[in-house]
Amino acid sequence: MAKMRPGEKKKVDFNIKGQPIGVNRACLASYCGSLVRDPLNAPLQKLKVFSEIPEENKEKMWDLVLEKFDIGLEDDQDEGEREKIKKERKTYIMGSLNKKYRNYRARLKADYYDIESTDEERLKEENRPPNVDKDDWEWLVEYFGSDEFKGKSTRNTENRSYQDVGHTSGTKSFAQKVEDMFERDKVMPTMLKLYEETHSRKDKTPVTEVAKETMSKMKELLAQREAGEI
């Protein structure tokens, strides 16, 4: 983004579901990540979740996105249509900022909060994450060690154990995968087809037992629907 000329914007295309696709999709995601890593936009201390960030900070980040990206808002659009598109795009951007903020804090804990150590050791200069203020890290260390955070962390771990995370799309979003499959096959993929393509190895076998069971259930439901049973 630093190489962009003043006033230049990157064009981001969106699909009919309001999800970014195309060559600048990853650039938009990366920029959202950089915004929430700036404590002037998204403070690290005294905030436990993205929703607690002041509204003026969220609006500032939204405006910064609009400065760098063309997201399909045109002056000559019908006012009602423009507001609809703006609301849709803003909902997506805020969701992306939320996810990036949550992931950033999670990485700080995973990479710099040694659960086997003491707070005294964790707070030493050499153990503090780069680009994180001393006061911010002190607050995070105290929060990471609180019963509230530990309880939340345990619940999240349990919830993830029930999720199927074995997809094979890498950093490519499912929205972009749908567009790629449409370009390749000239037909919009079904949910089953998309799931099979993103949860199978190169030899077409499911990546996990959970994925295998999910495919089987999806095929069973599809057969029942085609037979008029549901």
Range of the domain at 186: 174-226
End-of-domain residue from the set 117, 138, 161 = 161
Instruction: Determine, yes or no, domain membership for 5.
Output: no
Could you read off the pLDDT of 154-177 as tens digits, one per residue?
Answer: 776 665 555 555 666 666 677 778
Give the mean model confidence (pLDDT) for residues 187-196. Answer: 83
Q: Per the confidence metrics, is the pTM higher than 0.95?
A: no
Report how far residue 222's alpha carbon sits from residue 229's, in angstroms, rounded to the nearest whole number.
Answer: 10
The verdict on residue 33 lying in a domain is: yes
Do 45 and 72 belong to one domain?
A: yes
* Residues 38-74: tens digit of each pLDDT: 999 999 998 889 999 999 999 999 999 999 999 988 8
d(CA 72, CA 175): 17
Residues 150 and 196 in one domain: no
pLDDT reported for residue 185: 84
Boundary residue ending a domain (135, 161, 187): 161
Q: What residues pair up with 20 in beta bridges, in sequence order?
A: 14
